[in-house]
Each structure stands twice: as structure tokens, then as C-alpha cells.
Amino acid sequence: MMLDSMIALALVIASLGAGLMAGVYFAFSTFIMRAFDQLGAAPAADAMNAINEVILRSWFMTLFFGSTLLYAALTGFAVFDTDLAGRWWLFSAGLIYVVGMFLCTAVFNVPLNNRLAAVGDDDSVKAETWKHYFVYWTRWNHLRAVCSLITVAISIRYLVSQT
């Protein structure tokens, strides 16, 4: 019973993190990236580079890694505790979050961020890089937003089934 309470508490904390992440990604997907694009390629690239520098030293990183680690641990519990009721809901939530949010970020969004940061001060190169960045970074960000939101929904489903 104590383990079930600990799992529920960890899942509530992880879900709050995933919900906040979904909100950040949703904001970028629905209006921030388009607003940057309206500024023009060079100012948009400069603004995104500034965000990418600041974000590394912000609470966002604690939220990003903390929620990922909690979901990874919960996924492990779901795999190995064969007596855990509703374990496949818990497993699904963790898998979707770790793969759809975390790995997507590491494999797609971060390399695009690094490429944008490496452009330098040549506005024509920035413009060309921004065109590609804007389309692909936003596309992958949509996936992160959707996966984070689905994770929250599945987590709620799991928590409700446990009461």
C-alpha cells in the first residue's frame, strides 16, 4: 500500500511537470514561433538563440529532466511490478513522455538549436537557416506538446482508476 501511495505521489508530481511542459510547448507551437517569424529571419534567430541560452540556466531544465526521470522510473515500476493494477496505463504514460517529449527534444530540437546557434552574424545565412529551423523545429515541437498532453491524460486515467 505504501508503494502505491509513493507511485501515486510521484505520478502527480510528474503529471504536473508534464502539464507545464505541454503548456510551454503549446505556447511555442501556437504563437511564439509565428511571432518570431514575423520579426524577420535574423531577429527571429537572435531571439530564439537568446531563449536557448537562458533556458539552460532556468527552472525549465529542472522541470524537463525531473519529469523525465520520474516518468522513466514509473515506467520501470510498471514493467517490473506485475501485480501493479493498471500498470499498462502507467507504462504508456511514461513511454510516451520519455520517447515523445524527451527523446524528440534530444534527437531533433536540440540539434536544430545547436545549428541555429552556430550560424554566426551573417544575416543571409541566418535567414536561410531560420527558414529550415522554423519549419522543422516547430513540427517537432508540436509532437512534444501533443505527447506531453497525452501523457497527462493517461496519467489522470491511471490515477482515477486507482481510487
Instruction: Assign 1 a pLDDT band (cuts: 50, 70, 90).
Output: low
Residue 139 is inside which H or E element, if any? helix 123-161
Round the average pLDDT of the chain to a whole number and report it: 96
Query: 129 CB contacts (<8 Å, ≥6 apart)?
Result: 45, 115, 116, 119
Assess contact for 66 and 17: CB atoms under 8 A. Answer: yes
User: pLDDT tens across 100-115, in order?
Assistant: 999 999 999 999 999 9
DSSP letter for 163, please: -
Instruction: Assign 4 a pLDDT band (cuts: 50, 70, 90).
Output: confident
Report d(CA 67, CA 56) in Å as an integer.
16
- Residue 163: predicted pLDDT: 78
Report d(CA 146, CA 68) in Å as an integer.
15
pTM of the model: 0.95
